[in-house]
Structure 1
Amino acid sequence: MNESIINATSLITGHYNMYENYKKIEEVSTWLIVTIGLILMPVAIFALSSLVKKDNVAPIFVINLLVSDVVQLCSLILLQTDGTVSSIGDSMYSFSVVASVGFMVCIALERYLAIVWPLWYRTRRPVKMSLLLCAVVWTFPLFYLPLSKVMVSNGWLYLYFIISGILLLLPLPLLVFFLVGTLRALSASISVRAEENRRIVGLLVLVLLIYTLLFLPSIIFYLVHPRDLEVHFVAVLFSRLNPIADLFMYIFLRKGAVNHVWFCLCCCRKNRTIHQSSGLNVDKTVTTNL
């Protein structure tokens, strides 16, 4: 009897210590993400605003995505406090995450339509259509938030987890479909330049990669392991990295940026190869002298 009580007490103490360690890591990483994000985000938004053109509206969706990331970063600051302010931060965070997911789908959809259905896309006034779609994406979280608050306040946590997990899971097949469809269209097209091809494919791959890596832990937590503390910690940490990861989309929107990055990578690889070959030559020389 006493041994069972001791074991139970040790288990509770172990879970509490684990929780405290997770909270410390989460707090440090959150402030680091907020600091980096709030410094780089305004610069990226200003740079992207100059890329918006009549026939290139992808920056509009990325700008709105980065704005939702700014809201998310501000909400993370509020979440470090207690009481009513923390509750407001929680609502802002949920709002920004839902909007962020919507804009990622819009980015992939815009690239897909521009490549697979170019004539139809250009005759539909893409700028006005993009602004209307952005308004819809910003409005959707306003309907989701009250529903989630009702479920949580009534103790329907499992229902909330299931609905949240399904909402996060739905964009994944869409992103895969847009990427595969775009790749097929580009493989059959001879009018798209190689540099533009790399930018389009790179942006779609980046969107899918960010979504899969950073939101898949949350999907697993909501639908598979809703009581697992470690899964919850990983899900929270990865989802908070989303604003930083979104900044890399700028590379695939600015002309010449992809080639510059590719050139730097090739130079680094060439230098490493030369260094390795020179090391082998030195070894051979030493062996010969011996």
Structure 2
Amino acid sequence: MDLYNISFDTEYLHNISIENNTYGLEPYLSTTFFVTSCIVCSIGLPLTLLAIYALYSQVQENNVAPVYVINLLISDLIQMCCFVIWVAQPKNLIMFVVSGIIHGFSLRASVGFMVCVAMERYLVIACPLWYRFRRNIKITLVVCFTVWVLPLILEIPSFFGFTLLHSDITLSIYLLLPFPLLIFFLAGTLKALTSSISVPPEEKRRIVGTLVLVLLNYMLLFLPSIIWYMSAAITKNSAFNYTLQIVFVQFSPLMDLVLYIFMKKGAVDKLLGCLCRCRMTTEQEQG
């Protein structure tokens, strides 16, 4: 039997029972996890800091969308810092456990801000007049504060050894809740595009691109891990491989960086123009 019986849930480190006084992390730190952590952190950490700085300069009273993306990137920074701690294999068990709880907190916050980004983009298209007079920095900051506090409240019991709120099914349901919302925001936006005349075409492309990216991020990186984790929880499969689960979610911070392109005016048109020129060049060479 392993020295530690660690059951990795979405926080990956919550439920820990010590069966031996010897502390070793080798059984739980695979080569795959180490490589992906190094790739994500080496690329993601500097680019995320640059993106936050660039987005901060775009925040205005009538442009609050960057605020949600900034908070999303901050949650990504916290996750990547936890990756660094796990790769370093701390000798202190408390540091290892606390970093797992913090990662679970930031992961929940990340999903929450993905919903906020999608909701804000949806309102710009579906309710342009109403949203134009309702959006302001104060309301946005209150929403961000709520998104940060809710996961924190759910994480507090972990510090005192209570796991009721962290049962497998509860966690899975919590992380599945954004899925129908993200689909609704994208479908509602596409439906309202034809009747929206107050939003410029370039802005429409940026909004649709943002919603598609957020949904793809969730479906490709979060959803497989959640489904896999839920099935393992239902079947009580103690041999559940946490490494493959966490590797999916590890790449989410890199996907979130692409949101910066859709927040910057003119960037989408330049990107599309570049792709069109590359396609024309390829067709000419083949012809």
TM tier relative to shorter chain? 0.7 to 0.9
Matches within 5 A, 1:74-153: 74-80=81-87, 81-82=89-90, 83-147=93-157
Query: CA separation in 2, counterparts of 1:225 and 1:267?
Result: 47
Return closer, same or farther for 1:186/1:29 CA change in 2, 3 Å cut-off.
Answer: same
> Counterpart in 1 of 2:57?
50
Worse-superposed segment, 165-174 or 187-196: 187-196
Cα distance in structure 2, aligned partners of 1:188 and 1:228: 52
Residue among 262, 271, 276 paired with 1:261: 271
The structure number with the bigger radius of gyration is: 1
Aligned length: 256
How much does 1:105 deviate?
0.4
Match of 1:69 in 2: 76
Q: What's the offset of the Cα at 1:146?
A: 3.0
Taking the TM superposition and a 5 Å limit, the aligned residue runs for 1:1-290 are: 23-80=30-87, 81-82=89-90, 83-147=93-157, 160-226=167-233, 227=237, 232-277=242-287
CA contact (8 A) 2:45 2:77 kept: yes
Q: Which amino acid aligns with 1:250?
A: Y
Q: 1:154 and 1:63 mapped to 2: Cα distance?
A: 32
Paired residues of 1:215 and 1:235 also in contact (CA < 8 A): no
RMSD: 2.2
Q: How much does 1:235 deviate?
A: 2.1
- 8 A contact 1:45–1:63 mirrored in 2: yes
Larger RCO, structures 1/2 (Cα 8 Å, 6+ apart): 2
CA distance in 2, matches of 1:107, 1:156: 30
Deviations along 1:29-82, whole A, 9 cap, x unmatched? 112211111111111001111111222211000001111111111111122323
- Are 2:75 and 2:106, in contact at CA under 8 Å, matched by a contact in 1? yes
CA contact (8 A) 2:232 2:240 kept: no
More helix per residue: 1
Q: Does the CA-based 8 Å contact 1:225-1:231 persist in structure 2? A: no
Contiguous gaps of at least 5 residues in structure 2? 1-25
Contact 2:126 2:196 in 1 (8 A): no
